[in-house]
A and B are shown apart, each in its own frame.
Chain A
Amino acid sequence: MRDVAIIGVGLTKFGERYESDLRSLISEAGIAAIEDANISNKDIDMLYVGNMASGRLTEQEHIGALASDTLGLSNPPSLKVENACASGGTALRQAYLAVAGGSSDFAMALGVEKMTDVSTSEATTGLGGAGDKTWELDEGITFPGLYALMARRHMHDYGTTEEQLAAVAVKNHDNAYLNKYAHFHKRITIDEVMKSKMIADPLKLYDCSPISDGAAAAILVPLDIAKKYNDTPILIAGSGQASDTLRLADRDSITGIKAARIASKKAYEQARISPSDVNVAEVHDCFTIAEIMAMEDLGFYKKGEAAKAIENGETKLNGKISVNTSGGLKGCGHPVGATGIKQAAEIVWQLRGEAGERQVTRADIGLTHNVGGSGSTAVVNIYKRVD
């Protein structure tokens, strides 16, 4: 296995991008990544496109070729990677594996989702496919309902409160306020979260990530040539992925995500670090409870202790560990297929020291945590500066 580094990343503004279609989103993020990497579009020899539901949301399939075409690539193998909300993280990991294994020298991972061309109801129904269509959705358990069931049991077992859930949303909106790419540029208060519309008790509207359009891209090369293109290449020091049952009720536990625990253990072992070594993390806060569970699954906090720590501000910008400096899915937005790669872009910027107003003072080791469905897939990657 070769060491692999990210030499370029690119992002679009996330949000309701009525003026942009799949092609323009792909162009915006893809060209930004190519320019950031100081390579030519003709150099790219492998393309993985993370996307959940282009067919459902835009009636466009075959977006591997669409992205390759749009970016004017030299006929590389290209394919779409679908793993529900973890599609982006999975595409990035596939690019990592291709470069590590020697079958690619310039791999691009590009995530994209165009979600606002359909009604909110249609988009929500489409996203519901991340859960178990036959045994959950058809039976009346909505997707927010699944995370609500996890939240309720977490509250029961560990005394987690609705205000602590709200604290996640407030923190992530604070971070998003400093991120020009973020969907929301609006600070919110605990009180506003608590008074927002109930979606699936105890989860309210402001506990939920929004429906966003957007794209993100990253260029991965073998570490030994990375310095030719970039003074601060970012090493992918560890990568883990795991799956679990599609239906929530079939899991060993619903107060955490086992797939994330397995994936992170693999990633930590490969990177030879422990959770306390991580300075900055982008985690999958599709709902506020998900960030609390992520803190515990990733080993940053003992089971049942993360909610209080978040409430106490330990995971704010420049806290004990800075979590979701981009604003997370909650504040930055959640164009599903793009999210996992946006997380990597944010970590790359943080480790390079290019995160502007939201720069973390000490950022040597970063981590991304991307979850599919209610925890049926998890991808965890660890990143290090190598200069």
Chain B
Amino acid sequence: MKEPMYDFRNYGEKVNLFGNKCRSCGEIYYPKRNICPKCGKTEFDSFKISGKGEIYSYTKIEVPPEDFVDSKSYYAAIIKLEDGPLINGILVDPKNDFGIDIGDKVIPSMRKIKSDKDTGTVNYQIKFEDIGKK
């Protein structure tokens, strides 16, 4: 699959962190849902996730997917968002001296994620930056 085909249907949602909120029970979802798993209702309001949260779990992926040509390895995490839901994401390479740990706070950061092997087309994605336990 050529790079421009990747996720174009969800691209806006992904780079803007647009989720939604159930009008009935108030549950927040990212990605968006059309029927609420909690209460079964189908009316939602758009909701922009702040992207701030803390690391719930993490791993260092040493065998990246083929199209992740830019990095030999990278950290991936599940993040518990301040807004409620858990999401998965990639961490910005840590430049700090405290490493990566469960409970560290993160903030969102738009970064280049992969470039297509054939066309060179660059794709961007929200990554997360570990800002420590403060």
Seen from chain A, the residues whose Cβ lies within 8 Å of a Cβ on chain B are 121, 125, 128, 134-142, 144-145, 148-153, 156, 197-203, 247-250, 254
**Bound Cα distance from A249 to B59, whole angstroms:** 14
Which of A135, A136, A144, A249 touches B63 (beta carbons < 8 Å)?
Answer: A144
What's the nearest-Cβ distance from chain B to residue A133, in Å? Answer: 9
- Complex contacts, A203 vs chain B, CB 8 Å: 59
Across chains A and B, which 3 residue pairs bring their CB atoms closest together, nearest first?
A: A148-B59, A153-B57, A201-B60
Which of A121, A156, A250 touches B86 (beta carbons < 8 Å)?
Answer: A250
30 A-B pairs (CB sep. < 8 Å):
A121-B66, A125-B65, A125-B66, A134-B31, A136-B88, A139-B88, A139-B89, A140-B68, A140-B74, A140-B76, A140-B90, A141-B90, A142-B61, A142-B63, A145-B76, A149-B59, A150-B57, A152-B102, A153-B56, A156-B102, A198-B62, A199-B62, A199-B63, A200-B62, A201-B60, A202-B59, A247-B88, A248-B78, A248-B88, A249-B86
Tell me whether B102 and A141 are in contact (CB under 8 A).
no
Seen from chain B, the residues whose Cβ lies within 8 Å of a Cβ on chain A are 6-7, 10, 14, 31, 56-66, 68, 74, 76-78, 85-90, 102, 113, 125
Nearest residue, chain B, Cβ from A128 = B65
Which of A128, A136, A139, A156 touches B57 (beta carbons < 8 Å)?
Answer: A156
Which of B7, B56, B64, B86 touches A138 (beta carbons < 8 Å)?
Answer: B7
Contacts A140-B76, A141-B76, A249-B78; A149 near B62 (Cβ below 8 A): no
- Complex contacts, A139 vs chain B, CB 8 Å: 14, 88-90, 125
**Bound Cα distance from A203 to B31, whole angstroms:** 28
Which of A121, A136, A137, A201 touches B59 (beta carbons < 8 Å)?
Answer: A201
**Bound Cα distance from A152 to B90, whole angstroms:** 16
What's the nearest-Cβ distance from chain B to residue A257, in Å? Answer: 15
Tell me whether B10 and A149 are in contact (CB under 8 A).
no
Tell me whether A149 and B65 are in contact (CB under 8 A).
no
What's the nearest-Cβ distance from chain B to residue A82, in Å? Answer: 21
**Bound Cα distance from A152 to B6, whole angstroms:** 29
**Bound Cα distance from A325 to B10, whole angstroms:** 45
